Amino acid sequence: MRTTLKHSLKHPENFKQQLLVWAQQFDDVVWIDSNNHSGKYSNFDAVLAVNAFTSIKTDYVDAFERLNEYQQSTKDWIFGYLTYDLKNTTEALVSNNFDGLAFPDLYFFQPKKLFLLKGNEVEIQYLKMVDDEIESDLVKIQESNNLTVQKSNDLIKIKLRIHKDNYFEKVNKMLAHIQRGDIYEANFCQEFYAEDSQINPLETFNKLNAISKPPFATFLKLEDKYLLSASPERYIKKEGNKIISQPIKGTAKRSAEKKEDAELKETLSKDEKERSENIMIVDLVRNDLSHTAEKGSVKVEELCKVYTFLQVHQMISTISSRVSENIKPIDILKTTFPMGSMTGAPKISAMKIIEDLEETKRGLYSGSVGYFTPNGDFDFNVIIRSILYNETKKYVSYSVGSAITTKSDPLKEYEECLIKAKAMREVLEN
């Protein structure tokens, strides 16, 4: 049981920053920030969960079954992540590539302390065992000052896991698979990394978030491991018996010049290659949702709509379905994960080719962070545009990818990756 208190805020943005500084004392932290994007399916402006009461940490073996047991027995708010490598529990797949980060495959926790922010109000929910700490915590939060944790990053030297010529070679191999009919499309990713490097996770997250202001920004801390994410993409959401998925496929750069920026947006909306990429993934998502959907309920609500973010224009589609009461929340994740926008079509063939051609185990990159509510609703993002950090190993990493289709030009795909990597590189190197 939780004690709930509502509190009015004079300066919500200040409170958000103070809250995140205060949260750094805990080993388990999930912060999700919409950056005031208020779409049709928005819930909160921001959410903070800290201080695990119970948790589940496991490798991929039977991971969804174990998560189902945990979620069903807890029947409370739980926050955590699914790594891309959970593909190995749903299909006969492997992940043998290099992993410099070493995140557990799946992690969720039941927070003792929870803050839900909307407009000028924060709803505070504490488990009964700690509810006598609400008032003193509020005082501590309002006394938190960002300056107390400011420590600049080391001088970071970013290295490429796949160099340019090797990238072209690998994309051409992927194109050969497409020409043979093994796949129609696959998301090919490459890692940028720094060894023996220390960063200040909170400062780095704040810089990344300020550059991008995306709707699914996330700061996650699990002991010595951090995710600092400026994700613009929702993977999947459950709201009652309605399921919503919003894959992104199609990216264009921004311009500071208004007329040129509008032209770039218009060009993206009409780009045949980008539209075909997006439509292929929409078909894949429709198929994934049909595993749990009531008959005839899978609908494309929005197809290839271009949305504008601070760094890029993005083409986003919205697909929805309805599920019956007897479908377990975890079954919806299990039958749709990993998300189609990060794999390709057909999904299993694409994942096998990805494993063969990529150099790095994806881990948390192209996985998902999110939460379940006590009644089994959920909301999960796609982990892209993100910096990952293992503090003990002093290893910093970010990965980017693009969809390879029959119309792909290796040079243009490489340039698209560099556009996507720009914000992370700027944050780490400056």
What span, in angstroms and rounded, lies between the C-alpha atoms of 33 and 402? 25
What span, in angstroms and rounded, lies between the C-alpha atoms of 187 and 19? 36
CA dihedral (316, 319, 320, 323) in degrees, to 10, reads -130
User: Which of the following is catalytic: 16, 87, 207, 233?
Assistant: 233
Active-site residue flag, 294: no
User: Which of the following is catalytic: 16, 221, 238, 249?
Assistant: 249
Active-site residue flag, 233: yes
Could you tell me which residues come within 8 angstroms of residue 33 by beta carbon, excluding any fewer than 6 positions away? Answer: 16, 45, 46, 209, 217, 218, 219
Tokens at residue 419, please?
């556009």
What span, in angstroms and rounded, lies between the C-alpha atoms of 423 and 429? 10
The residues annotated as belonging to the active site are 233, 249
